[in-house]
Amino acid sequence: MKVIVTLSLFFAFSYTLLAQEIAAIDQADKVVTNILAKEATFDTSLHNIEALHNKKVDFAIVNSNQAYAMKKSMPELRSIAALYPKMLAFITRKDANITSISQLKKKKLHINVTCEGTDTLCHLIFPTLNIPNDYNVSTFIQAKKELNDGNIDGLFALVGHPDSHIIQLNKELNISFVPLFGKKFDQLNTDYPYILKGGMPKGIYTGVEKDIKSIGVKTLLLTREDVNESSVFNLTNQLLDNLQTIKTKNAIYRGISKKTLLEGLVLPQHKGALKAFNKH
């Protein structure tokens, strides 16, 4: 079992169980891993979930779409909590005059390859809206230049908001955000349990004066069914005890609460996690 025990003195001896390692995805995940783990490795959702399956780690952070895709082939996977949402942003130049997703049928698009899960969601969205899948794939830096030069009309990025790349892009280019909503998006939410409805709240980026509707996924903290119940209980308890601290570390976690930690789980919860939630 991959745990370590640290001893601290606070009027009396107390034991805190920390996960030895959590496989994480994004830099925002450091907020949680710094509290819960001795070490953290950062890779893709697919790599992390395979590491969990192969027992290289006992805890991993993955996107909910990846967890759902592996539900049948890895039945031992268990949820601990849903950490924060990643919402799909469609960003365009203001002078492109794109105000609706329905205008994208003849536009030159870009998908940010560095934002894991973006491609997956766009592959679901585009066919329902008759948008061709002939988009460009590159990094934020490349996309910024392409957008500035007028070579593309917009880009899609599935990220936790606020995102540092988007903040920088917003400073350098005259951009706008196009809302993603409507009956076809509602149907996606119905057809795919890992897709959630939400968006970007006003004020989260300079110039965003009203809420921007969108769809997205959750980042999930996972474990396996065979991981010791007390280890999972202690880790989950540590997470719940530190929610207020987590909120102050990164605006991505601004809405985190006991309630949101249970929203968007696409896998059964581990018994140890259930025990910790019932305690709080």
pLDDT digits (tens, 9 = 90+) for 220-273: 999 999 999 999 999 999 999 999 999 999 999 999 999 999 999 999 999 999
Question: What is the distance between the alpha carbons of residues 215 and 118, in angstroms, rounded to a whole number?
Answer: 11
Query: Three-state SS for 239?
Result: helix
- pLDDT at residue 13, rounded to an integer: 30
> Does the pLDDT value for residue 7 go beyond 50?
no
pLDDT per residue over 168-210, tens digit each?
Answer: 999 999 899 999 999 989 999 889 999 999 999 999 999 999 9
Q: Are 260 and 240 in contact (CB under 8 A)?
A: no
- pLDDT at residue 102, rounded to an integer: 86
Domain boundaries, the chain: 3-83+219-279, 86-217
Query: Three-state SS for 150?
Result: coil
The torsion of the CA quartet 210, 115, 187, 66, rounded to 10 degrees, works out to -140
Determine the topology of domain 3-83+219-279 in CATH: D-Maltodextrin-Binding Protein; domain 2 (3.40.190)
Q: Which CATH class is domain 86-217?
A: alpha beta
77 pLDDT tier (thresholds 50, 70, 90):
very high
Q: Are 82 and 219 in contact (CB under 8 A)?
A: yes
- pLDDT at residue 258, rounded to an integer: 97
Would 3-83+219-279 and 86-217 be classified into the same CATH topology? Answer: yes
For residue 137, which amino acid is it? V
Say which DSSP state 269 is in: B
